Structure 1
Amino acid sequence: MISRRSMMVGAALGVAGCSAKVPQYKGPEVTRIQVFKGKRHMQLLHNNNLLKAYNFQLGFAPTGHKVREGDGRTPEGAYLIDRRNPYSRFHLSLGISYPNANDIAYARANGLDPGGDIFIHGTPSRAVGIPDWTWGCIAVQNNEMDEIYAMVKNGTKIFIYA
């Protein structure tokens, strides 16, 4: 029989093992993420200084602001990075705080479900080279997601522009 203590130690080692694959970042704090959907260009900034930039893929219907679940759009506006998933089926992922109160109010007023679970995440091998394949997320290459995951903390502001 496996003791509760053995399970706790095993779980702790599993988490430690997972975090070891993400490189450590010791540079300036990322204070802002800017996403330019039309250009498929994302910038990580420390105040007004560019730290890193990435290209990405979007949802299957990328034009316009996300208004309902399943529309294939990426939201536009000001949000926060609000969660991390080291076990994402898309390599690693950082959650975006969509829907906000305005998104929920708009969806309810129009009889819609605003959806959720919008992330910046990696790209599975089956999607490499496929343009705009997500359900509304921002997808980068896995090695880039390693960097982003290490650099960006929960609470970081993200501004998503058309």
Structure 2
Amino acid sequence: MIVRRPVIIAGAVVLLGFAAYTGWEFLQLGRTVPPLASAEVRATSIVVDKQTRRITLLRNGEALKSYEMSLGGNPVGHKQQEGDSRTPEGNYAVDSKNPRSRFHLAMHLSYPNASDLDGARRRGVSAGGDIMIHGLPNGLGWLSDWHLRRDWTDGCIAVTNAEIEEIWAMVDIGTGVQIKP
């Protein structure tokens, strides 16, 4: 009996510590937004290659950095409508940044464009929206690279929290994003 008590106490301390960490991250307490890198080293475009699951930051056509990523849960093909869990394909741009999203930093893409809207209208469906490049859900940053084991987003492009912080600092609003099949 005496040996069990320290094990139970140690387990409770670990569990409480984990809960405190997760709650801290979930509530975004103490989150700081990375400052933009100097203009001469920022990306001028982004290429997302769905087949290889890589997002690459480019400066004047030259690769700066590349990251593994997760996509929408139904990754093959272009996004057709809201709720299809597909990541769109085509040319878009980062049109806003949200440091307080439910994911660790989120950069909104300009999906749907005019062609996406026209196609959805012809099919009689909503094109959807809220396609982002983002980190992991708040409170789940500890998953790190484990998120790469399967495609899990609703159509977004997901990287680790450390990676989205690097990307955030390297990307301006207005940066072009090419999403390849």
TM-score normalised by structure 1 residue count: 0.84
**In 2, Cα distance between equivalents of 1:105 and 1:113:** 10
Does the alignment pair 1:121 with 2:140? no
Aligned to 2:159: 140
Larger Rg: 2
Does the alignment pair 1:151 with 2:170? yes
Aligned to 2:104: 91
The answer to which of 69-78 and 118-127 deviates more is 118-127
Higher helix share: 2
Aligned to 2:125: 112
Give 5+ residue unaligned stretches, structure 2. 1-29
Give 5+ residue unaligned stretches, structure 1. 1-16
Aligned to 1:22: 34
- Structure 1 runs of 4+ off > 3 angstroms? none
Number of equivalences: 145
Aligned-residue Cα RMSD (Å) equals 1.7
Aligned to 1:161: 180
Does the alignment pair 1:46 with 2:59? yes
For the residue of structure 1 that corresponds to 2:41, the secondary structure is: coil
For the residue of structure 2 that corresponds to 1:113, the secondary structure is: coil
Is the CA contact (8 Å cut-off) linking 1:35 and 1:41 kept in structure 2?
A: yes
Is the CA contact (8 Å cut-off) linking 1:74 and 1:138 kept in structure 2?
A: yes
